[in-house]
Amino acid sequence: MDAIILQILNGLDKGSAYALIALGLTLIFGTLGVVNFAHGALFMIGAFCSVFMQRLLNVSHQIVDETQKDFLGNPLKVDVPYVKEWFGDAFGSALIDWSVPIAIILVIPVMLLVGWIMERGLIKHFYKRPHADQILVTFGLAIVLQEVVRYFYGANPIPTPAPSMFQGSIDFGVLLGFDPNAVVYPYWRLVYFLFSAAIIGLVFAFLQFTTFGMVVRAGMADRETVGILGIDIDKRFTLMFGLAAAVAGMAGAMYTPILSPNYHMGMDFLVLSFVVVVVGGMGSLPGAVLSGFLLGILQSFASMNEVKSIIPGIDQVIIYLVAIIILLTRPRGLMGRKGVMEE
Amino acid sequence: MFGLDQKDTKFLWIVVALTLLTPFILNPFPAESAMAQFNAGYPALMQRFAIYGILAIGFNLLFGLTGYLSFGHAAFLGIGSYAAVWMFKLVSMNVIPAILLAMVLSGLFALVIGYISLRRSGIYFSILTLAFAQMSYNLAYSVFTPITNGETGLQLSLSDPRILDAENTSGSLPVPNLWINMNASWDLHLGPWTFTLNAGYYLCAVIAIIAFYLSMRIFRSPFGLMLRAIKSNQTRMAYTGLNTKPYTLAVFVISGMYAGLAGGLLAAMDPLAGAERMQWTASGEVVLMTILGGAGTLMGPVLGAGFIKYCENIFSKINEGILHDWFSFLPDPIENVVVWIGARFVGDGWQLTLGVLFMLIVIFLPGGLVEGGKRIAKRWSKKTDTTTTPAE
């Protein structure tokens, strides 16, 4: 029993990332009808916003510390980050420590802007083109974004630790009445899960309870009629693209303590996220979220040693296998709407 | 001739001539001159032109004719390579059994994958093929390591049995052969020029010509017409009472066998096989070659493959120092800026160039190089025609 709970928990953080990316992909597909292969790159850019924030807060200059001596007896030169100088030692180091969550403040405007530029500059011209063209042009864009990031940050993964407060693990089993140390779960993964649950909740609330969201939903259902009613639906859809980019970016920024970001992490996540979207049903937001978590958890079950000893290699292929089965038995995916991309 | 009409026969002869004369055409600069770095007439690169040409021709049969965008074609390439290397290890260093097994095995895989994937079309087909390719890639790295040798890649070794060959006593690894060794080359010195005629390249070239001829026949056949009909309106085909599945499956298998053949040849030229050949970025590269040259045209994919492989090689070789030499006629500040920008796109930055190229082609020239050529030709003929025909 405790093993099962542990695997469910392990699947949650990966599942959250899949769900967030898939949510963005579905938003873009549902509103603009565009298949965005650059979405993984947006996730990656978000992750590197965290790296940027970490570096920014650590910008420092050397001062000569008279109280410390090096081995020759000369006064020691120490690097002091500017934030420590400006805000005092305690608050400054706290800022540096919390660089990953702070990056969220940076990620949202940056990603909204990136999304807006992408949509207005490139995607706009591809509404009427076939899906194959959209896939290809966004694939090219993904390569470009990836290479630009590689130029600035190099090819190696950059460790970005979580705040020290969250670096330990929580003994989750004790809360549920199991033996101590049976279900141990890192704090940050829990934070990530709660964070993504909150984001997903916010996106759904935005679409469900605001006038803006209502118009967008109406546009998703019948774009033409909404246009006839005198609403500039394109403008709102552009904003939705920005929102989708921001969701992917936040997913990436917060994921950095779990997986040190490297420049091709986006591609790795993209393929899986596409599979997630298809399993959930093209154009269905709840389907994307559901299948994201489902596949994340399935994957973590498949990587249990007990399962691997029965079917070797299953952990590597489970997601693709599930996708193939779903696509062949349920053409619409788990929760796809009737008539949307069915053939 | 060969079941082609006159125009196509002429076209085929031009292709044959170009292919066989490649070592000369691609070496326009004398060996000692400063421009020699732009020569592409060395064996390793020419072999790759021919091999990736075959791959792109095969991919084009599927994508160009039926419009089914497969994102998993690299899997067949990888399977072909592994099959060929195993033949080298177990049976003989002769390339014929290796290539045959590579084609048969990748054909079988294509049959299974195609049978399942072709139940859906459009983006779902792309994702299904992508899923299969990623599965093969992941499995090659994990469970199948006894067969694929994991990250190290499958290589020849001295202790391989090779039941048909005479015992290898030379103490060095044998080279794939077709009675003559594949890396046997003959240098031809003509004045300052040096041309390398390589056995491996000519094997690839002959196979590429056969592959091209077959694809030409398929393009012109009723079968090809049927495939084009499927591309333009699959629903209507279904309404007229025609089951399109056998046709699409047949072309998928053919296309997979082309990829397997290319994989087998890659292994024959350099007998090692690694899983990275199956990665989905490799599949993306094939798609790019086809699009760049012009999907659905006969010659386009070959041009695209050649163009990309040439740029990959040349761009990767250029570095900042060479750029400084080129732009030294500019005033210093401008030179530095130009060189800095240029340097981002060469050497390590080749991937960036590839991405930008990809986008530019899809945005501005969806028909690829062939369409670009046609447009220029049209504009040219219009310019000359204006005197004879009045404006409409």
Assess whether pLDDT exceeds 60 at residue A290.
Answer: yes
Residue A305 domain-assigned? yes
Q: Which is more confidently placed, B171 or A36?
A: A36
The mean pLDDT value of chain A amounts to 84
Residue B131 CB neighbour total at 10 angstroms: 29
Interface contact A328-B120, CB threshold 8 A: yes
Residue A95 domain-assigned? no
Task: Give the per-residue pLDDT at B1.
Answer: 63
Residue A339 domain-assigned? no
Task: Give the per-residue pLDDT at A335.
Answer: 79
Long-range contacts of B177-186 (CB under 8 A, 24+ apart): B177/B93, B177/B94, B177/B95, B178/B94, B178/B95, B178/B96, B178/B203, B179/B94, B182/B95, B182/B268, B182/B269, B183/B43, B185/B43
Assess whether pLDDT exceeds 90 at residue A276.
Answer: no
Q: Count CB pairs under 8 A between chains A and B.
A: 107
Backbone angles phi, psi at A61, to 5 degrees: -130, 160
Interface contact A317-B124, CB threshold 8 A: no
Q: Classify domain B6-278 by CATH number.
A: 1.10.3470
Interface contact A275-B144, CB threshold 8 A: no
> Nearest C-alpha of chain A: how many angstroms from B243?
15
CATH code, A247: 1.10.3470
Task: Give the per-residue pLDDT at B391.
Answer: 45
Prediction ipTM score: 0.80
Is residue B196 within 8 Å of B42, Cβ to Cβ? yes
Compute CA A237 distance to the chain's CA centroid, rounded to the nearest angstrom: 21
How many domains does chain A contain in total? 1
* Range ranked top by mean pLDDT from A85-89, A221-225, A308-312: A221-225
Residues of chain B numbered 46-75 and touching chain A (CB < 8 Å): 67, 69
> Nearest C-alpha of chain B: how many angstroms from A135?
9
A2-27 pLDDT per residue, tens = 778 888 888 888 889 889 989 988 88
Chain B interface includes A313 (CB < 8 A): yes
Task: Give the per-residue pLDDT at A338.
Answer: 66
Domain ranges of chain B: 6-278
- In order, the DSSP letters of A196-226 are HHHHHHHHHHHHHHSHHHHHHHHHHH-HHHH
Q: Which residue of A has its CA nearest to B363?
A: A137
Task: Give the per-residue pLDDT at B386.
Answer: 52
Range of the domain at A266: 2-58+100-329
Residue A93 domain-assigned? no
Give me the residue label for tokens 């500019």.
B330
Task: Give the per-residue pLDDT at B392.
Answer: 43
Task: Give the per-residue pLDDT at B354.
Answer: 82
Q: Which is more confidently placed, A212 or B143?
A: A212
Residue A274 domain-assigned? yes
- Write out residues in chain B with pLDDT < 50, as ranges: 387-392
A103-145 pLDDT per residue, tens = 888 999 999 999 999 989 888 888 888 877 888 888 889 888 9
Task: Give the per-residue pLDDT at B188.
Answer: 79
Residue A131 domain-assigned? yes
Can you give the pTM of this predicted structure?
0.85
A214-254 pLDDT per residue, tens = 998 888 888 888 889 888 888 888 888 999 999 999 999 99
Is residue B78 within 8 Å of B140, Cβ to Cβ? yes
